[in-house]
Chains A and B, each alone.
Chain A
Amino acid sequence: MELPVREEEKNIHSEECYMNMGPQHPSTHGVLHLELKLDGEVVVDSIVHIGYLHRSMEKIAENRTYTQFIPFTDRLDYVSAMNNNLGYCLAVEKLMNMDVPLRAKYIRVIAAELNRIASHLIAIGSFAQDLGALATPLFYCFRERELILDIFDEICGNRLTYNYMRIGGVQFDLPDGIDKKIQDFIKCMRSRIKEYIDLLSYNVIFLARTKDIGVLLKDKAVNYSVTGPNLRASGVRCDLRKDEPYLVYDKFQFDIPVADKGDVWDRYNIRIQEIEQSLRIIEQALAGLPEGNPTVKVGRIHKPPAGEVYLRTESPRGELGFYIVSDGSEYPYRLKIRAPSFSNLAVIPELIRGVKMADVVSILGSLDIVMGEIDR
């Protein structure tokens, strides 16, 4: 039954106010500018402004040789740099029809999966912090991430911008003793995942903030080309490591976690389950590591035959694609990067229509975007 509206209420003039969730903000992940139109506490409309981190990487690529561009791919999605290196090197190798030694493939899988865990840890930690759990889950996640970064420091010499994969292999072989360190890390990480689930996943306050919020329906997700854990949380079972296996992923046994509701809690939970699956893959890869020489000496100028290639890999945020057009010379003619966060971000105006202010931050944190790869 509708309550009758009094005459005076119909004449009350209420305005909608525009508010900027500006480029500098503690809760937007990077320099994202979100312009919101608010009616009291409820968001009516929003416009997304990006481009504050544009560094013209695709244009720079047209003046660098194929090997020289690898450090630049590190800086796209700076949180999971190994996956970017991997995607780029696989694309160039496909263009040149080059084969990679088997040991290099296994090492690449180990590095990529370790980086997937590191990236999901940041996603979970910063998401919990945006909700108000003042930094406690964040510190726990970063404590585990430090172990991974120390492993990477021993393997390739750097903690964030690795420059590890080369066209045809990797830069260095695994050092001695890294085997034991990775096994210790896997054991430690398994017990810590239980801690995260106890601390956050079923906490009644956390559930109240995340259940049934920001529901992304299946057809909308597919129409907006959302990929990665966000798509799997909406019920679409789609993972490039199983659908079009690259490297040696078809030799390992692992599951793809899929949820059915598509709300914020599902997106968070899928990331926790994916960490567990990545640990399984790393264990199997370490057990089956073959002998051989995976290294490649730098210095050869690659001149791929004229043609084009589009290769996609599964990065922690979704489907990362590299489209390279070569005209036979040592510089690419055109290099285009398909960033997963770019398509994931496009869903935001749809998702935050009609929610309260406090939920905007929740939804933004659950989509896990990195501005480095959106703006390139």
Chain B
Amino acid sequence: MFTLLNLITMLVVGAMILGFIAGSSMFLIWGERKVSARIQSRLGPMRVGWQGLLQSVADAIKLLLKEDIMPTGVDKWVWQLAPFFAAVPSVMAFVVIPFGKNLIVKDLNVGILYITSITSICVLGIFMAGWSSNNKYSLLGGIRSAAQIISYEVPLILSIITVVMFTGSLSMQKIVEEQSKYWFILRPNLAVAFLIYMISALAEVNRTPFDIPEAESELVAGYHTEYSGIRFAMFFVAEYTNLFIISAVAATLFLGGWQGPVLPPVLWFLLKTYGIVFILMWVRWSFPRVRVDQLMSFTWKVLTPIAFLNLIISGWILVR
């Protein structure tokens, strides 16, 4: 029965999650700048606040105060809705992320399936942005990005299915509880699945070395070139929220979620997630970019066959 107490609980938890997302994105943006700076032997933001912690706040204020320009000739409704299609699914995926033993908004029994289906909507946002800007370079960026994301969904889902086979359930809390003996990454076939998952997830969120649509490509400026101010901020926040989500899912599926000996579970979960976020940032600043056709040939000729092989071997191990 749906009472007032339920409503208030939902609203309070929702507000907490949104607050956490905003704070986490700002922290991740600051973290990215600091990590990239230390790798490049320089210091990063240092002036605004202690060690530059308030730099993201200053950037957010700056973006909010910018003029809202809509170029002529754009497809009006599509152009205005595109940032929302990119940002909202990322926030929606937070419903099933297990922060602790009972700290999950709603433990759906199709947890991991829900996450993969919701994050697939992000492709729509990118493609809409590319199409509706009256700009042939944005269109090229949008098309490339759509092809990239759709192709990399296949190895991603295959590696997730490998994990689900070992637990027998799609629910996130059950997956974490299955790992109370030892974490899934310690099994060799699941370690391979972890690697495949990481590479596919990097390609899903358009990060280097797969960031062809987003970073300053050779000529074109990418699908979000016609956006400024708060709309651009939404794309930006969506990217970092996506980064957090894929790290959280990796920590849950492979590293044991919130399980750990001494510290409180929330702390373990955050430690593992931010550890994987650090590794992803480290990868970003180490490698050059892949070319578009090499990207596609890599996924269809290398990743997908290995993922299928891994699935068959895991099935054989389970049946034995």
Contacts and interface: CB of A to CB of B under 8 A. Distances in A.
Interface string B20-46: 000000000000000010011110000
Given A205-B209, A358-B218, A132 B288 contact: yes
A362 to B, nearest CB: 9
Contacts, number: 68
B35 to A, nearest CB: 11
Nearest to A127: B288
Contacts of B293: 356
A136 B289 contact: no
B130 to A, nearest CB: 16
B219 A134 contact: no
A143 B287 contact: no
Contact of B216 (A26, A128, A205): A26
B41 A128 contact: no
Contact of A140 (B41, B211, B288, B290): B41
B206 to A, nearest CB: 13
A138 to B, nearest CB: 8
B291 A134 contact: no
Interface string B271-289: 0000000000000111111
Interface in B285-304: 285-294
A182 to B, nearest CB: 22
Contact of B218 (A27, A133, A135, A203): A27
Please tell me the size bucket of the interface on B.
Answer: 20 to 34
Contacts of A139: 40-42
Interface string A115-136: 0000000000000101111111
A346 interface: no
A171 B291 CA distance: 49
A21 B208 contact: no
Given A134-B285, A199-B286, A361 B291 contact: no
Contacts of B208: 132, 134
Given A19-B219, A136-B40, A131 B289 contact: yes
Contacts of B292: 41, 356, 358
A282 B187 CA distance: 54
Nearest to B136: A17
Nearest to A199: B286
A206 interface: yes
A25 B218 CA distance: 9
A142 to B, nearest CB: 9
Interface string A298-328: 0000000000000000000000000000000
Most chain-B Cβ atoms within 10 A of its Cβ — which of A25, A132, A143, A359? A132
B119 to A, nearest CB: 25
Contact of B289 (A17, A27, A132, A356): A132
A143 B40 CA distance: 9
Contacts of B286: 133, 136, 199
A360 interface: yes
B288 A206 contact: yes
A203 B287 contact: yes
A127 B137 CA distance: 23
Contacts of A360: 218
Contacts of B121: none
B41 A134 contact: no
A134 B215 contact: yes
A54 interface: no
A199 B51 CA distance: 29
Interface string A168-211: 00000000000000000000000000000001100101101100
Most chain-B Cβ atoms within 10 A of its Cβ — which of A25, A27, A133, A203? A133
B285 A136 contact: yes
A25 B98 CA distance: 46
Given A19-B219, A26-B216, A135 B290 contact: no
B288 A133 contact: yes
Given A132-B215, A134-B208, A357-B218, A203 B41 contact: no
A328 B290 CA distance: 59
A358 B291 CA distance: 7
B219 A205 contact: no
Contact of A132 (B36, B136, B209, B219): B209
Contacts of B294: 208-209
21 contacts: A21-B219, A27-B218, A132-B208, A132-B211, A132-B288, A134-B208, A134-B284, A139-B40, A139-B41, A140-B40, A199-B286, A205-B290, A206-B288, A208-B290, A208-B291, A209-B294, A356-B293, A357-B219, A358-B218, A358-B291, A361-B218
Given A131-B288, A131-B289, A133-B288, 16 more contacts: A132-B209, A132-B211, A132-B288, A132-B289, A135-B40, A136-B285, A200-B288, A205-B289, A209-B288, A209-B290, A356-B291, A356-B293, A358-B217, A358-B218, A359-B291, A361-B218
Interface of B: 36, 39-42, 136, 208-209, 211, 215-219, 284-294
Q: When A and B form their complex, which 6 residue pairs have the shortest distance between CB atoms, in order from nearest?
A: A132-B289, A139-B40, A133-B288, A131-B288, A132-B288, A361-B218
